[in-house]
Chain A
Amino acid sequence: MSMAFNTHPQSLYVMLGMATRIAQRMGLHHEATLSKYSPFEAEMRRRLWWSLVLFESRIGEQSEKGGARNSTLSPIWDCKPPTNISDSDLRPEMKTSAVAGSRCTEAIFSVVRSQLADYLRFADFFLDFTNPALKHVARAAKMGSVEDGGGGDRISVLETEMEDKYIRFCDPTNPVQLLTIGTTRTFFARCRLLCHLSSHAGPSLPHMSEGEMDTATLHAIRMLEGDTMATASPSTKRYQWFMASYFPLPAYLRVAQEIRARPLGPRVDRAWGALTDNFAARMVFKLGYGAGAFTPLNRIIVQAWDAYEGALVREGRSRESIAVPGIVGQVRQLAAEYEMVSTPAGGSPGTDDFNMGFGEFQGTGLPMLFGGPGFPDTMGQESFLAVGDAAGLGGVPPQQAMGSMNLNDVGWYYSQ
């Protein structure tokens, strides 16, 4: 397949900056400027601003640390999210502002997404990464409302609010509404995962207990399940071009880590199931996009499988009796098609692909708290490396290994 016209993400990010600058010059981000236009024109401008900001944020996350940190999604502007209104109810000649419709309109997906992002741009745990200095601005803007604090309670409040206003009215037989339900579920699972990791993981913070690891895994599994809901149905295949930019890799990493660390643990079956279902739904590589993007995923799955199979064999099971999870079969098949050599698990930290895998993912996500308090701003420290057995980490005690997770991999993309 030729790649005639696909822009390098870093170039795209810079060009998007031009679009954002044009928008700001036109005052699209500024309610006071918008109020000078007709209600119709103001609403159209809000839609464009929010769509642009959401897209720019996502591409920024894929453009290494600087891009993620420089997001336009910040508390310093006041453009309101788009109104929940179908095009038929939005008319150029209207004299008064659009009134939000109840339930699901044609705009539901962008409305929900924008409102979730509108929460995020004021949230402490998001600003801790992008621009901690803006937390003061965020708090001043939200004077009187519930302080974000640890984030957990506020997430539940928001989730309930979105459920009441929109999600419970969404009809899964309607493709856009199905996409909205699934991506919203993924969003909240991801928020919880990142909040949880930000308060529990890292070299200068207490290591996670088994219970806390379990919670993190549960959030990651729910991320996968939400994403599968959004992408498995044939009716949402038409949105694949969009969903392609939101592959839930952090969830794959976390779940595979769980399998590798606790192959006989209570979550393992659900973990394999969630991985298999999502991989099948995503059908990524059946689209023939090539081996490049597949390589890291291949390593993660193979190593999780090796740890799992190895543990069962040590328990006395014969290899033949162990059911091979769907995703392992699919990954092997793809690897054979791409003529890739599966890398063995274990070995020294320098060659252990789980560890190398994390270093390689540096900068691909929006590392939570990377560079924030207690986190040295260097690349791929060994101490951040994934859970694994002592052999794989070259002597790091399992207890310590269990408690850490490379937050660089937990890509932060909110807008699903």
Chain B
Amino acid sequence: MPRLTLIQDGDYESDWSADEEPKTAVTKMWDQLYHHREDFPFGTRTATLDLPPLHPGPADIFRLWQIYLDNVNPLLNVTHSPTLQPRLVEAAGNPTGIAPPLEALMFGIYSMAIRSLSPVDCEAAFLHGKDDLLLRYQSGCQQALMNCGFLRTNSRDCLTAYYLYLVSSTPPYYFLA
């Protein structure tokens, strides 16, 4: 329900946010803490990301897969390991020829694996900061999802990838609720 703001003569700086519900203190806290990534899924990034260089090397792909199996898969339970693993093996050997839904899923798995690590453990395992790697793999996931046309998709792999992307974007704070 909009609140009417009394506008004095000559006062042209009325607060048009008055028609919004007042924000709770927690929301204000979030606003300060989190960036608003509004560009995805509208794709305002001008250059299309080239994906093959963004994949980790084969050894790291398997380490990330193993981390995903240990830390993530038992809780989310959205991938089938016996059928997915051979597909990863094949894709790791040929990063330029991966079908878009599988590629999106791979980046989703990388993102979730990194997300599940503490910053210290990530640095120790991969020699890069957690935020840097998360940004890299989530960007790859976004691009791969766009390559899939994910909004129109009927592919379970593609939807699973989008889901993993979203979970990996969850704020890390204990959200007091």
Sorting the interface of chain B by its residue count into under 10, 10 to 19, 20 to 34 or 35 or more gives: 35 or more
Minimum CB–CB distance for B34 against chain A, Å? 4
* A32 CB-CB contact with B under 8 Å: no
Minimum CB–CB distance for B109 against chain A, Å? 14
From A2, A22, A87, B159 is in contact (CB under 8 Å) with: A22
Check A238–B116 contact: CB distance below 8 A.
Answer: yes
How far apart sit A240 and B116, CA to CA, in the bound complex (Å)?
8
A-side interface residues, number (CB < 8 Å): 75
Chain A at the B interface: SS class: helix
The digit string for A269-300, where 1 denotes a CB below 8 A from any CB of B, is: 00000000000001010010110110011000
Chain A positions within 8 Å of B83 at CB level: 92
* B30 CB-CB contact with A under 8 Å: yes
Chain A positions within 8 Å of B118 at CB level: 240, 287
How far apart sit A5 and B37, CA to CA, in the bound complex (Å)?
8
Check A297–B162 contact: CB distance below 8 A.
Answer: no
Minimum CB–CB distance for A148 against chain B, Å? 25
From B21, B38, B77, B81, A51 is in contact (CB under 8 Å) with: B77
Minimum CB–CB distance for B31 against chain A, Å? 7
Within 8 A of A (CB), among B160-175: 160, 162-163, 166-167, 169-175
Check A238–B177 contact: CB distance below 8 A.
Answer: no
With contacts A6-B172, A22-B159 known, is A413 near B24, CB below 8 A?
Answer: no
Task: Name the residue on A nearest B116 (C-beta).
Answer: A241
Chain A positions within 8 Å of B4 at CB level: none
| Interface 9-mer from A8-16, A207-215, A339-347 | A8-16
How far apart sit A23 and B166, CA to CA, in the bound complex (Å)?
14
Chain B at the A interface: SS class: helix
How far apart sit A240 and B172, CA to CA, in the bound complex (Å)?
10
How far apart sit A78 and B163, CA to CA, in the bound complex (Å)?
21
* A338 CB-CB contact with B under 8 Å: no
Chain B positions within 8 Å of A362 at CB level: 24
* A7 CB-CB contact with B under 8 Å: yes
Question: What are 10 A-B pairs at a CB distance below 8 A?
Answer: A6-B172, A9-B171, A9-B175, A12-B166, A44-B78, A51-B76, A238-B71, A241-B71, A244-B173, A361-B24
Could you list which residues of chain A lie within 8 angstroms of chain B, going by C-beta atoms?
1-12, 15-16, 18-19, 22-23, 26, 28, 40-41, 44-45, 47-48, 51-52, 55, 59, 61-62, 64, 82, 87-88, 90-92, 106-107, 109-111, 176, 179, 238-242, 244-245, 247, 249, 282, 284, 287, 289-290, 292-293, 296-297, 359-366, 379, 411, 413
Give the 9 A-B residue pairs with the shortest CB-CB distance, closest first. Answer: A360-B25, A110-B77, A364-B177, A247-B174, A7-B169, A411-B177, A8-B34, A4-B131, A241-B116
